[in-house]
Amino acid sequence: MFIIRIFFASFLVFLSLPSQANDIDPVHYAYSNYLGSGIYHTTGQDATLINLPFSLVLGKEGATTYSLRLPVSLGFFDFNFENIPDLDFPDSVGTLSLTPGIQLNYQYTENLVIESYLDLGYARNLTTNRNVLVHSGGISSLYSFTVNEFDSIWASRIYYAGYDGLNYDAADLYAAIQLGVDIGLPVKYQLFGYTYQPRIFATAFWYFTEVDFDVLINSTQSTPEQSKVSLSNSVEFGVTMKFDKTIGYSWAGFDTIGLSYRFSENINVVRILFSFPI
């Protein structure tokens, strides 16, 4: 069964200068499937990615479930969420990322699931015609527990992501630890005929090395100037609605809607969520 979860992510800086962006290659879009969805904002500018993390369950053997990961990300220049109410959608794609991989979920105990994945894929900046090889892997534990009727999930993750330029000099790698808790309130409501449970969550990220982004800044010169913004350790909190059943088709739907805020020293993020937030 295909599970398609559509995320909106907005990434950094170079939106207002698409015709000039050919001179600079902001390659942070290669991380779009791993940093998380949201409106990433810094130095007063944004860019937008739509993430489509397709997945296909291959089978189950004992306590282990095997899945094929097929995440796709599309990036757009000159577009952000302010354009949505006016239906002012972009007419061209600026970046494309395809990072297929394998995921294993092992039901260790009734309350504990161990997840692991390994991805190897490709990302292309269509404005610069440059390509990067993207690779990532990680392992997670999800522990379910209940305290005073509040059903909760404690998540612990460690993962890495990196990229290498194809036929040009570009490379970067980062690794992170993530800890968080997702708590369901002991109530349920209905929205458009769908029953949902309100949930709250908080999570923190510790990066072994800072994640550096090449970005464009406004300049009085005829061409934009290049600068770097570093993503340091960050904290995030938010609220979600967890629906009892999938909204939409089984192969193209979602069971969670939420909103969160992530902040660090240099970057602030408003995330729109369509899946488990941690």
Q: Across the chain, what does the average pLDDT equal? A: 76
Higher pLDDT, 108 or 44: 108
d(CA 188, CA 195): 7
Token digits for 132? 């990067």
pLDDT of residue 177: 95
Average pLDDT value for residue range 197-222:
73
Whether the predicted pLDDT of 150 surpasses 90? yes
Average pLDDT value for residue range 111-137:
91
φ and ψ of 128, to 5 deg = -110, -10
pLDDT of residue 235: 94
DSSP labels, 136-191: EEEEEEEEEEEETTEEEEEEEEEEEEEEEEESS--EEEEEEEEEEEEEE-S--EEE
Which residues have a Cβ under 8 Å from the Cβ of 158 and sit 6 or more positions away? 138, 139, 140, 175, 176, 177, 178
Name the residue ranges covered by the structural domains of the chain.
7-273
With b for 16 or more beta-carbon neighbours within 10 A and e for fewer, the 85-119 pattern comes to eeeeeeeeebbbbebebebebeeeeeeebbbebeb
Higher pLDDT, 25 or 14: 25
pLDDT band at 245 (very low <50, low <70, confident <90, very high): confident
Least trusted range by pLDDT, from 43-52, 152-161, 185-194, 231-240: 43-52
pLDDT of residue 5: 35
d(CA 240, CA 7): 14
Pairing of strands 7-11, 38-41: parallel
φ and ψ of 31, to 5 deg = -90, 5
Token digits for 173? 């790698």
At 220, is the secondary structure helix, strand, or coil? coil
pLDDT of residue 236: 94
Query: How many beta carbons lie within 10 A of that of residue 276, not counting itself?
Result: 17
Pairing of strands 171-184, 211-217: unpaired
d(CA 73, CA 88): 20
pLDDT of residue 41: 54
pLDDT band at 106 (very low <50, low <70, confident <90, very high): very high
Whether the predicted pLDDT of 99 surpasses 80? yes
Average pLDDT value for residue range 51-78:
82
Average pLDDT value for residue range 200-220:
72
pLDDT of residue 91: 56
At 202, is the secondary structure helix, strand, or coil? strand
pLDDT of residue 17: 32
Q: How far is CA 29 from the centre of its chain?
A: 11
pLDDT of residue 18: 36
d(CA 45, CA 93): 18
Whether the predicted pLDDT of 97 surpasses 70? yes
Pairing of strands 171-184, 194-207: antiparallel
pLDDT band at 82 (very low <50, low <70, confident <90, very high): low
The CATH class that applies to domain 7-273 reads: mainly beta
